Amino acid sequence: MRAFLSIRLSIVILIVTWCVSAVPGTPVQKSSKADLDRIVTIAHTLETDPFNKDAKKMRTWAIQFVIQAPDVHLALCSNLFGNLLGSKKTNESELGSLEIVYMAAFVIEHEDKASDTIAVNQAGVEGVLRSYESILKTKPKSKNESLDALIAKRDQGELKAYVEEIVNSKCKK
């Protein structure tokens, strides 16, 4: 429950920061290339090694960076994962915050798609699914029906349509 509240608070701070940074007349600042590269490295590391000895520090730094970054803006849709949040056995603290990290890495790596809300949210979902699959290799009892259903959608080529439907019907634009 505590991790759930922490994730919700991070999301609220992210939204407020984005709104404040969008105030007309505010000078546009840029994140350093080193910080942007670090986000991408963290995302790729945690996809394959979510239990990395520094995983908690990496997640914390990455979330704080995204919240404070003047030039990384995300339209997060929290309705994409069903019952993921609130389930301890699915490593909620590892997965819940990673969606934001994967979305940020996608925006950094694909600047031309940064305003494509569907593509950005899909990248977040796909990153979480890759981390979930990595977790299952180490902890096979950490199964989650919602994530398994999303993996099935991905494997059947239906994930983009699912993300598009949820983002367009349940998430504010």
pLDDT digits (tens, 9 = 90+) for 41-75: 999 999 999 889 999 999 999 999 999 988 888 88
DSSP per residue over the chain, as a string? -HHHHHHHHHHHHHHHHHHHHTSTTPPP----HHHHHHHHHHHHHHHH-TT-TTHHHHHHHHHHHHHH-SS------TTSSTT-TT-GGGTHHHHHTHHHHHHHHHHHHTGGGTT-HHHHHHHHHHHHHHHHHHHHHH-TT---HHHHHHHHHHHTT-HHHHHHHHHHHHS--
What digits encode the pLDDT tens for the residues 76-106?
Answer: 887 787 666 555 655 766 787 889 999 999 9
| Domain coverage including residue 107 | 2-24+32-170
For the chain, the domain total comes to 1
| Confidence at residue 90, expressed as pLDDT on a 0 to 100 scale | 59
